[in-house]
Amino acid sequence: MAKKKTEPKINRNIANVEGLRAEILEQNITDTLELNYMPYAMSVIVSRAIPEIDGFKPSHRKLLYTMYDMGLLTKPRTKSANIVGQTMRLNPHGDAAIYETMVRLARGNEALNHPFVDSKGNFGKIYSRDMAYAASRYTEAKLDGICAELFRDIDSDTVDFVDNYDGTMKEPSLLPTTYPNVLVSNNKGIAVGMASNICGFNLREVCLTAIARIKDPSCDLLETLPAPDFPTGGEILYDPLQMAEIYRTGRGSFSVRAKRRYVKEGNLIEIYEIPYTTTTEAILDKVADLMKAGKVREIADMRDETDLSGLKLTIDLKRGTDPDKLMARLMKQTTLMDNFPCNFNILIAGMPRVMGVGEILEEWTAWRTECVRRRVYFQLQKKKDRLHLLKGLRKILLDIDLAIKIIRETELDAEVIPNLMIGFGIDQIQAEFVAEIKLRNINKEYILKRLQDTEILEKEIEELEDILSSDRKIKNIIVKELKEVADKYGNDRKTTLVYETQVMAEEPEEEIPDYPVTVFVSKEGYFKKITPQSLRMSGEQKFKEGDSLAFSREVTNRAELLVFTDKCQVYKTRCADFEDSKASLLGDFLPGKLGMDEGESVLAVCLPEDYKGFMLFVFENGKAARVELSAYETKSNRRKLTGAYSDKSPLKAVFCLQEDRQLAVYATDGRCLIFSTAQLQGKTTRNTQGVAVMSLKKNKVVDKVLPLEESGIHNEARYRVKSLPAAGALLKEEDAEEKQMGFLE
């Protein structure tokens, strides 16, 4: 009986699982993306990462408006923790995120040309990675003076106000900035599927450019806005054509380098401005790495001497060092010179758009025109309302005795307003205004002043209506405000411009000391460079257990090396990149020294000299590829090249040859052939598959390849072939390699 009772329950459970499985299978992946992922993506784009036309992200705007609402534009500083707490009414992302936003906007952080927060205390530095800002309970802040330009006439209906996240208060959707802050303040954001990176420009130059653009939409922007301006200073390597392209498209990059001075007395270099995109710690770490690797021997010491007077990195030079040549090398090898990638992606009416500088100014002008128009309309309505009240008052003042009589003879308080409306033919609003007049104001002087106010208001209303009907007058107001901002808050450029001709003159080629050396390469990839003097004094070469010498050769310190690996890659380096070694040392492990990929090992090391020879690759499938050495010649001193040879078949041998030679190819079935490299045609494509040299039987492959003189073959004519491909001949016992190895015993 118990068994019969449990069976229906089990069946019902199975049915439920099957129904759930069917429901899951029926759900379309596109519906999931549309319903779940798309709202998240749009929220990040619109409400978090991409700035709008006023130059602010929502987090910036919420913080600044909260501070404005707290009266911190005129009041003294208050604790940052207090500001953070108040901002949480608008920003639900937590106190840490809010305070980080404040830090970046603060004067003490130096991240902006014109900071919006007047700070007191430690707010860190934009140019330091490790200088942490103090907690919000220790620092104080208020709005900086320039914020008056952000909130000017915000109470005059210049922008829309929307509900906050819980609907308990209102916040502005945009701030009515009187200048193009979107171009003045640096801004960076990463959204879903898109990003924004806007460099800051000089405030005065932006205002003058906006004025020029309003007056002449076809004006040359570079005349008034030559280049960006960063709060950390530095020097822009200036190319007008490159900058014009960035201005046109809103995309591109340019180089910024540090500023330095040479102090002759102490034989040192002081770096006092660095690129906006790097930090002092990153520079110091990279220079330290170069010094450890022996690539920069001219530096005795480098330290951070940043203090209250500003940033300063000091480099102590060794005697006889040319500071210009050293700095030219450091610029190339460290972030003392860095690129700034531009991506002027801005939200326009809720839609992200990548725009050039001209388009941004055009959009800002259109938006600012709307703000001014709304402000004028707001003022017009206020004055019309006031005029309406004064017109009602004028009717009353013509017969004040009648007004007093009506009020005195009215028995009920609620009937005063209706009786005044009937007695003088005025509306309710006018009647209420009249009824509130104090008894002491019923005199001749008060009456005359109110009549004069009426005349003034009528003239002002006429002027405001004239402004509303004229686009030219509205633009004149914008131009006037831009001039006022430029005069009041404008300052000189911090980032200077350096033209290409100056750059080439200041960056001489690096001089590499040249002297004879002997290089040793082991089979496992250890490299040693030994001078003749050290070699004469040395004993037996030391190798790792199980390792042995692959080859050695006399070259010079300036000689270049091509290191081929088993991952179809070649690394280009120089002997000068390695320290002079001794026979008693193992040497440098090439995979580690050259930064090879994990598991990558060395197959061959080639000294290309003048790149006049060729590389010969013999593959397991019997093919051989002759690639001209010129295909590996590059302008950089050290560079990794992918596709160094074909990956269609495993590689069995690599030869770097300056002239044609004869090679012996052995197959796994015991056959051998001898051919000349002159029989192969040279290719300039590095990853060419080559041509067939040895015809192989099924399941047979090439076993090894040796230079003829190292093969031990006596009867060469038996194996030599005139045309390729060829099958070769069976290897006789007297020609086997093992025979010629007997002399080592």
- 286 contact partners, CB below 8 Å, separation of at least 6: 333, 334, 335
What count of residues does the chain have?
745
Cα torsion through 86, 90, 93, 99, rounded to 10? -40
Does residue 707 have a cis bond before it (omega within 30 degrees)?
no
> Strand 496-499 vs strand 235-238: parallel, antiparallel, or unpaired?
parallel
- Tokens describing residue 250: 């809103």
> Which of helix, strand or coil describes residue 1?
coil
Closest CA to 566 of 604, 593, 620, 528: 604
Q: In 491-576, where does DSSP find H-type helix?
A: 500-506, 532-537
Largest pairwise CA distance in the chain: 145
Closest CA to 572 of 640, 643, 642, 656: 640
* Alpha-carbon span 118 to 676, nearest angstrom: 80
* Alpha-carbon span 148 to 139, nearest angstrom: 22
Which of 37, 138, 165, 515 is labelled catalytic? Answer: 138
Residue 128 CA to its chain's centroid (Å): 17
Q: Hey, what amino acid is at 293? A: A
**Number of CB atoms found within 10 A of residue 399's CB:** 12
Per-residue DSSP letter, 243: H
Query: What is the residue whose two structure tokens read 């295909």?
Result: 631
> Which of helix, strand or coil describes residue 663?
strand
* Alpha-carbon span 410 to 400, nearest angstrom: 16
- 454 contact partners, CB below 8 Å, separation of at least 6: 387, 390, 391, 394
- Gyration radius of the chain's alpha carbons: 41
Strand (E) or helix (H) holding 223? helix 221-224
107, 152, 264, 488 from 146: Cα distances, Å? 12, 10, 42, 9
Q: Annotated catalytic, 138?
A: yes
- Tokens describing residue 273: 């401005």
Q: Give the up-direction half-sphere exposure of residue 443: CA atoms within 13 A in the CB hemisphere.
A: 6
Residue positions annotated with a catalytic role: 138
